[in-house]
Every structure is written in C-alpha cells, then in structure tokens.
Amino acid sequence: MQEYKKYLQPKYVSQLESLELKARLVVEGFITGMHRSPYHGFSVEFAEHRQYQQGDELRYIDWKVFARTNKYFVKQFEEETNLRALIAVDVSGSMGYASKGNISKLEYATYLAASMSYLIIKQKDACGLAIYHNEVVDYLPSRAKISYIQELLQRLDAIKPTNTTNTASALHSLVERISRRGIVILISDFFDDVDKIKQSIRHFRHNHHEMIVLQLLDPREVDFKFGFATAFKDMETAEEMSTVPNQIQHSYKNAIEQHCNTIRNICRQQKVDYHLITTDQPFDKALREYMVKRNSL
C-alpha cells in the first residue's frame, strides 16, 4: 500500500493518538491521492498560498515552499470567505454500533467531521459544527479562522453516543439557528421515521441551504452477514433478541435497501447530494464528494 493511502483507512486512523493528528493526516492523504489520481476539474490546494504573480511583494514569498517545490508561492492572509459550511453529526444511540473488526459509526463520523473541518477551514472557507440526537446538544457557528479548528476538534473529541432517537426533530431547530445560507453536511445512519427525515430536509432546502447527506452504516447493517445464532441488542432501548441471521437475511437486506433507497429518493426530489458510506470504506470517498459539491457552487 502506498504510504498516503493508509491515512485514509479507518482502522489505521483509529490507532493514531490525537484527533488533530487524525484529521491532518487524513486530509494530507486525500490531497496526495487526488494529485496522483485521474480526477480532474477541481482544486484541492489549500488557500493559504497562491502562485507568485508579477508585482507581488517578495517579502510574502514562502521560501520553505520554494525549497520543497522549486516554485514561488506567496502567503495569503485572512479575507472574507465565499462559502459557509456546517457539519451536523448524529450522536443517537444507534451510532455507537460497531461490528467485529470495524470502528463504530460514531467514531467514523467523528474522524470524518474532523477531517472535513480541517479541509474546509484550511481552504479559507468557514466551517461550523452541530452535534444532535433528539435535540441539538452542541452548536458552533461557521467561522473561517485557522484557530477555530482547535475548538471544533475539541467538541468532536468529547462526543459520546446517547440512548435517544427521534433525531429528525432536532434538525428543524438546527435550521433556525443557521443565520446565513451555506452548505449543510448531515452525517447520520438515518434510522428514524422517513417522513420526519423528509420534512427536515425540506426545511433546510426551504431556507435555501445546499446539502450533502452522508448515510453512514456498518457493513453488517448492509449485508447482515452475522453467521449462525446471534444475540442482538438495541443500542437505544437495550432490548435484546436472539435469532438465526441466515433465516432472516434476505428479508432484512430487502428492508434496509428499501430504507436507503427511500432516503436517496427524498434527497433526489429535494436536489440534495446523497451518498451511502460504510465504516470500512476509506475517508477519501466523502471528502471527494464534498470537493465536487464545493466546486459546483
């Protein structure tokens, strides 16, 4: 495996110590991968530098960058951002689930949100954070200052799953807290009433927000490959049930596929970008989708 690719793998990233290190290495791995891939048409360069142009003051040239690249770049300074992003992370009980060999959905969501925050602010856009279950439990408005990354990461590092559900109701209150139009990134398993999910997404769109919906599931929640007799425990009610997964696998897979397709269709009807992600997939999938959306605005 090429060195940069390991920084995009959930299992490897989970072994790193600090959330800041995880976010930085994921973003650096993503950028390196983009530069080496056939994907073209959008930039993933940080906006702290731009290529030197005739007339720029020599004192602003970054000589460290020149030493690495043999190209002249000048440092950019604080300026008004042209995009405001808000990342909303679902911390309801079901997000705490992890099958054998995988990190939990909430852990994956935390690393992904941290990486996105790092990428967005490093590109001189503004980023905010909302943490919610049946209510919004933490909210940081969108800002573009580099120092804001630390506050976002601290809040993300502190979150834990709860035993509550009905997350859709929290999204309505979140819409009203966003003062300016921007792009809202929802990270959730969306194990909720689909009609309520539809209403909350329509509310965001009614307020003219662009959206990316990332439905995050564990691989076993998609394929239900648990083998023989297994005991299942509800992450939110603690109710337990024993069953033979092979006997209900077909019915389950049909049900989860129908649920995901319903969420996908809701998003399509509202002109919202939808992506299904499992916790064994590299982080660059979601980051790439964000960059495609960012550069289409």
Q: Render pLDDT for 14-36 as a digit per residue (tens, 0 to 9).
A: 999 899 999 999 999 998 887 66
Q: What is the pLDDT of residue 131?
A: 96
Residue count of the chain: 297
Identify the three-state secondary structure at position 101.
coil
The neighbouring-strand residues paired with 75 are 49
> How far apart are alpha carbons 52 and 49 in whole angstroms?
9
Q: What is the pLDDT of residue 80?
A: 46
Q: What is the pLDDT of residue 2?
A: 74
Q: What is the pLDDT of residue 247?
A: 62
Residue among 61, 5, 50 at smallest CA distance from 28:
5
Q: What is the pLDDT of residue 63?
A: 82
Q: What Å distances lie between residue 90 and 52, 64, 71, 133, 138, CA to CA?
A: 43, 40, 43, 6, 11
- Domains annotated for the chain, with CATH where assigned, are 3-75 (no CATH), 84-296 (3.40.50.410)
> How far apart are alpha carbons 106 and 90 in whole angstroms?
8
For strand 183-188 and strand 84-90, is the pairing parallel, antiparallel, or unpaired?
parallel
Low-confidence ranges of the chain (pLDDT < 50): 38-42, 77-80, 235
Could you tell me the sign of the dihedral formed by the alpha carbons of 4, 287, 114, 257, in that order? negative
Q: What is the pLDDT of residue 7?
A: 87
Q: What is the pLDDT of residue 39?
A: 44
Q: Are the C-beta atoms of 111 and 23 separated by less than 8 Å?
A: yes
Q: What is the pLDDT of residue 196?
A: 93
Residue among 101, 179, 77, 87 at smallest CA distance from 132:
87
Q: What Å distances lie between residue 58 and 45, 65, 73, 280, CA to CA?
A: 22, 14, 10, 47
Q: Convert the pLDDT of each residue in 150-202 to its tens digit.
A: 999 999 999 988 877 778 889 999 999 998 899 999 999 999 999 999 999 99
Amino acid at 219: P
Q: What is the pLDDT of residue 251?
A: 82
> How far apart are alpha carbons 46 and 60 in whole angstroms?
16
